[in-house]
Chains A and B, each alone.
Chain A
């Protein structure tokens, strides 16, 4: 398979500047990297390193000052608002640090929401959609909370709802901006495990940012930023254990190989 076709995200010499009053702040400095389909990748780094800016660009909610951002093969700088919205809708699921659930909708409605935003979308029939929503809610362990409002749930439960919501459109990419920042460590770990399970089960690319070193270690692919530049790009190649007849044994790891990808570091 052509490796180019496996890239769901490509950043080439991306620069992002912000205007703060009269001062121009350089948030990203010639950042380049690729993300392969099915990656479980973290954008790591301390506060102010540019993690959220990278996620904003990948999530098509912001545009680069210069350089090229390709998401699912499309150059985001060449798309208008309508097309960017469609790309986000069909291609990217979002998990926010502050959960961002819609308070007036119950859990089931929140999960189903992205599938209802475009009435002209007929990808899924109503029955298929409802079955998929039920399955996702069950997968995140909230089947007994379906009729509850977000305010009636704990932080961890809300983030589980957000994960289910992010997956409802079956997007190739899910972006999570510091998904564990507002959770205690045990809950944060369970959320990461849930995300990883979803990554394995559905083959969805998970891209999440964090500044927690413990969580970084759970990722298969780490891109570390400092002061707006990539200082590390390391992929852990996981070889699944196989049975005697050559079939993969789910959840069993045969070998792990750490591979550092050439990082273009600009300081």
Chain B
């Protein structure tokens, strides 16, 4: 108790030292508290945004060289993500796992959009089953205009509000449900593929940024055609009467009449005749899902709230390896791509900054404490002469640092809290996509968590204790004989 009494008293006796150290600790704790809260805001916001709105907790993707984002970008540089060859086996496996809350298959790719021959824009398109998508991401998507597609609907697209506005600007007219637009994409299998779709509705993504707000939902088979998975459709190719008439009257020979001379009777190498084309069309029209496993590039998985995502991912990775298809099992961060990585990199940079700030705090604190100890040599010598053991001196200095850290910590936490409240109330708007990622939305709404405050306090407290170690060794070297040498 007497050590605590002396430590407390020394804080007020050596005011200059206490004020310098207290200010450093107070600012350090405030900065860490605010920084931790902002980083937590970004990471938690991104986590919530992507897991609940775009990726799910864990996702399976086809066998690309490296990881794949939900936007169809691959670290391996593939133009089109391969489909999951043994998709049904995953569904069977996941159906038995109690940790799984829901699953949803998906396709993703970049498409150009146009009206007639006029290109009016481009963007990411997700190929989905309308009903599955609504169930899986029910909290993230709102129907603004039109209606949700149903199973029997012909090729459709659900445009986001943002995309609709942009495309309307380019088209020179306001696009609305019922309008038709043309989608086109280039793939290695079929070259350029063009499909006409009907705008079924306008939607809004409740949690998004400038990039995410431009995603369109397209019926899965249309996107399969565009990405080169036409042979792995879920349903037959449905031709309009005009298209059927065109295909039936199509004579491929006519395309090459001027360039080639076709040897009569050599049917093996001849180009298809109009009869052959008719047969192909007929064949395609009668192809059904009963014989073909439809292609899906992604299988998104939402987990039960208490499930351990890392453990689940690990288990699913083992299962994927057993299928020998080189599929990827990845978390939401890989799925979110550069947006999430940006935020996590910011967190890493912030952590590095904490280390740098920590080293500076430790050095300044250590220096001030060394000066303080050197000023108190007679006092410490007197204590030693009167019979204080080394551990008493050690305890007294640690208590001094502790009291200072507690007092500064409370002030620092209050200061940090006030700054966070001011930031929250100021409603700072993200000026660009980068800041949208950092803010985890269009506006900065920092989450104020007790854990962030506690982390900040403990960090500075630990740094203070580390900083006091060297001064303590100096204090312990003070011999009692100095007490006899006068004050």
Binding site for B on A (CB under 8 A): 52, 55-56, 59-62, 81-82, 85-86, 88-90, 94, 96-100, 102-105, 109, 112-114, 116-118, 165, 169, 177
**With A96-B483, A104-B10, A116-B1 as contacts: A61 and B385 at CB distance below 8 Å:** yes
Q: Is the CB of B483 within 8 A of A117?
A: no
Q: How far is the CB of A22 from chain B (nearest CB, A)?
A: 22
**With A85-B384, A89-B386 as contacts: A61 and B392 at CB distance below 8 Å:** no
Binding site for A on B (CB under 8 A): 1-2, 5-6, 8-10, 12-13, 378-379, 382-390, 392, 479-481, 483-484, 486-487
Work out how many contacts link A and B, with CB atoms closer than 8 A. Answer: 89
Q: Is the CB of A177 within 8 A of B6?
A: no
**With A85-B389, A88-B387, A117-B389 as contacts: A109 and B481 at CB distance below 8 Å:** no
Q: How far is the CB of B120 from chain A (nearest CB, A)?
A: 79
Q: Is the CB of A116 within 8 A of B2?
A: yes
Q: Is the CB of A81 within 8 A of B390?
A: yes
CB-based nearest B residue for A57:
B481
Residues of the B chain whose Cβ atoms lie less than 8 Å from the Cβ of A100:
378-379, 382, 483, 487
Residues of the B chain whose Cβ atoms lie less than 8 Å from the Cβ of A105:
2, 5-6, 9
Q: How far is the CA of A118 from the CA of B10 in the complex (A)?
A: 20
**With A96-B382, A103-B13 as contacts: A59 and B484 at CB distance below 8 Å:** yes
**With A89-B387, A90-B387, A104-B9 as contacts: A117 and B2 at CB distance below 8 Å:** yes
Residues of the A chain whose Cβ atoms lie less than 8 Å from the Cβ of B387:
85-86, 88-90, 114, 117-118, 169
**With A82-B389, A118-B387 as contacts: A109 and B5 at CB distance below 8 Å:** yes
Q: Is the CB of B484 within 8 A of A56?
A: yes
Residues of the B chain whose Cβ atoms lie less than 8 Å from the Cβ of A89:
386-387
Q: Is the CB of A61 within 8 A of B481?
A: yes
Q: Is the CB of B481 within 8 A of A114?
A: no
CB-based nearest B residue for A63:
B481
Q: How far is the CB of B9 from chain A (nearest CB, A)?
A: 3
12 contacts between A and B (CB under 8 A): A59-B385, A61-B479, A61-B481, A61-B483, A100-B378, A100-B487, A102-B383, A103-B379, A105-B5, A109-B2, A114-B387, A118-B387
Complex partner residue of A88 from B378, B379, B385, B486, CB under 8 angstroms? B385
Residues of the B chain whose Cβ atoms lie less than 8 Å from the Cβ of A60:
480
Q: Is the CB of B10 within 8 A of A94?
A: no
Q: Is the CB of A102 within 8 A of B6?
A: yes
Q: Is the CB of B386 within 8 A of A104?
A: no
Q: Is the CB of A94 within 8 A of B9?
A: no
